[in-house]
Amino acid sequence: MFHRRFDAAWFGAALAACHAADEEVVPRSGDDDRTRDVVFSPQPLAESHNARVARLIDEAERTLDIAMYSFTDAGIRAALAAATTRGVEVRFLYETASEDRKLAGAALQDSPSGRLERDGVDVRWVNKIMHHKFMIVDGPRDDLAAADGAHLVTGSGNWSRGAATIYDENTLFLRGERELVLRMQQEFELLWTHSREFAGDPALSSRPSTLMLTDAMIADEPGADVYFTSANFDLRGGDTFVASGREAVGDALVAAIAAASESIDIASGHLRLRGVAEALIARAADPKLQIRVYLDGQEYIAAATHAAQVKALDDCFEQAGADPGKQRECEDRGFLFGYAVGEAGVAVRYKYYAYRWYASYAEQMHHKYLVIDGDELWTGSYNLSDNAEHNTFENMLVFRGPAYAELVARFADNFSEIWDTGRTEGRLAALHDDIEDGGPVPLVFPAMALTHAEIWDLKDQIRAACPAVDSQPYRTHPESHRTCE
């Protein structure tokens, strides 16, 4: 089952110029050489998803379609340049281009987007946040049958050293997934058609795809689905996406949580989506259902902070009145639900690695996946947040059934591993002892999966040993205060 985001009528009109001939659903070509693999970060760089992406780019023969939030890996950039040199057509929807395009002259040419265009990569941007992290290698731009052999890469990880070697991430490598490839190609074509030119190299312009994908051309295949937040936007003026208030991905997640019978394991950098949080709270009282939620440390808040955010949200709603748009803006501020979900009885742990969160040293828990009843996997680029639902382009893939049992099991094993991060090694007890022994107080430390109560006790001990930790210098420049003398 797939949930389309726009009426076929206007999408077809927008791509009519690219439509070479009417196509119908056709059988597979017979190539059943499937790949269903995942790389979990962190890894040594040579064994990371970045290295594997670069190798796939090196194997591309015709086309590369990429939608990416953040990209800094030198190996991938070199592979892209080599690909264009040998005649591979590369289209790149790039979030960074939305900022780079504001530059001029040499600064524009030397920007990340400018360097890509200098290497022959056609770069474009969209008016909403491009948070996808996917690539289609030799995809069905001109021929439905190409979907059978195309490679699809997608997941939580950006193409950066941090995502490869520091953060908790997952990146799927798929081949032989005809429906998923066609759906992702359809998503790419939608966004590309209604994107905006970066124009680093005015002479660089990719050819239009000759295959106009419609839902009627894509057969549903058992066990795999995909949802897109593009379902939540309406189109105005040809290249402007406007939030509609729909919640295609959130609604699907709420339904999945409501249908769980044995277990729900969630690994997510954020928990800021009201529907999902309320669905978890509603299931918390079921004695037959085990729920575990693992969040990044930046989601931890004290009881007083939770009370303050409740008041701020109430005040915002009062000012918004009955205006749905303003009400949505209130939710999009980023309400942190980890505390409330934990108070409702759900087992919540946080990946905790610093007294005060700061991007430069954060060992982030950056996954975005759910394993339900041990046999159903939801994973993609989608953060559990209202911002992801209403302001960004995201994907969430679903796998279930015997054909995907091994893939789901790998995610279940990964969750069991990260759920106990640092606990078997006794890191928390060792840190308590270090602080108790005097000397420099560590404010950044090896990561641990801690409960709310464990973090509260640890922070209390650090404050007692280092009264300056909440002073203005420490708050303003945490990167300069990794220890307290």
Q: What is the mean pLDDT of the chain?
A: 93
Sheet containing strand 444-450, strands side by side = 224-228, 395-400, 376-380, 368-372, 263-268, 290-296, 347-354, 444-450
Query: In percent, how much of the chain has pLDDT > 70?
Result: 93
Per domain, the residue ranges of the chain are 10-219, 222-301+336-485
Q: What is the pLDDT of residue 319?
A: 95
The first and second tokens of residue 473, run together, are 């210098």
The total of other beta-carbon atoms located within 10 Å of residue 390's CB is 21
The first and second tokens of residue 110, run together, are 């030397």
The first and second tokens of residue 290, run together, are 């085990």
- The CATH class for the domain spanning 10-219 reads alpha beta
Query: What are the tens digits of pLDDT across the range 316-348?
Result: 999 999 998 888 889 888 899 999 999 999 999
Q: Which residues contact 59 (CB under 8 A, 6 or more apart)?
A: 137
Enclosing H/E stretch for 181: helix 178-193
Q: What is the pLDDT of residue 1?
A: 40
Picking from 124, 127, 61, the residue whose alpha carbon sits closest to that of residue 89 is 61
What integer is the mean pLDDT of 133-156? 98
Ranking 11-15, 170-174, 223-227, 392-396 by mean pLDDT, the lowest is: 11-15
What integer is the mean pLDDT of 426-436? 97
Fold match, 10-219 / 222-301+336-485: yes
Query: What are the tens digits of pLDDT across the range 393-429?
Result: 999 999 999 999 999 999 999 999 999 999 999 999 9
Q: What is the pLDDT of residue 32?
A: 59
The first and second tokens of residue 121, run together, are 């990569």
- With b meaning 16 or more CB within 10 Å and e meaning fewer, what string describes 328-337? bebbbeebbb
Direct distance between the N- and C-terminal alpha carbons of the chain, in angstroms, rounded to an integer: 58
Q: What CATH code would you report for 222-301+336-485?
A: 3.30.870.10
Query: What are the tens digits of pLDDT across the range 132-143?
Result: 999 999 999 999
The first and second tokens of residue 156, run together, are 């939580």
Q: What is the pLDDT of residue 284?
A: 97
Report the C-alpha dihedral over residues 175, 179, 184, 189, rounded to 10 degrees. 120
Q: Where are the alpha helices (DSSP H) in 227-385?
A: 248-259, 274-283, 303-320, 324-331, 338-343
Q: What is the pLDDT of residue 332?
A: 81
